[in-house]
Amino acid sequence: MTEQPNDAIRFIQFLIISIQTSLVGQSLGLVIGTATSLQVAVFLGPVTGIPILLFSGFFLNLYAIPKYLQWISFLSFTRYSFSGALKIIYGNNRTELDCDRKRINKMSYPCLGKPAMIFQALNIPDYSVSVDFGVLCIFFLFLRILGYYILRWRVRRRR
């Protein structure tokens, strides 16, 4: 249906980067939960998700973001997750896609047969998947340590 290669290594890599993304999201939730009261955390959690997704390059091309706001995209862990997932799916010497099928309608997105064209259209950087995974690990460790120290500070403050 989607002509994805039947490759166990790609599947395992995709699974690993997806799990790492969920761990980073959980860590962010732990930081929000430990730093604020329950009433504030209920509203702050979804509100922090908006800029994280907006500046990830998934909904909005990173070059469409004004220059003075582009630095925020480096703070979005979903940017690295999206980039890593696309590199896993379309990288690693992926064969060209079959673009011989007719488009359903004139408004449908044109078929990009070569994986390099997909990376160029979505402005995916050239560095390897391990860099994306490493940055996600750094986000995970930073947020977990930050959550620990915030929780420790709040417990000491209550004594």
For 25-37, write each residue's pLDDT tens digit.
999 999 999 998 8
Cα 108 from chain centre: 25
Evaluate the CA torsion angle 16, 6, 129, 99 in order and state its sign. negative
**How does pLDDT run across 111-141, given as a tens digit for each residue?**
676 777 777 777 777 778 899 999 999 999 9
Residue with tokens 């862990």, as numbered in its chain: 77
Confidence of residue 152 (pLDDT cuts 50, 70, 90): very high
With beta carbons less than 8 A apart as the criterion, state whether 133 and 20 touch.
yes
Sketch the domain layout of the chain as residue ranges: 19-96+107-158
Query: Environment class of residue 62 by beta-carbon count within 10 Å: exposed (0-12), middle (13-18) or buried (19+)?
Result: middle
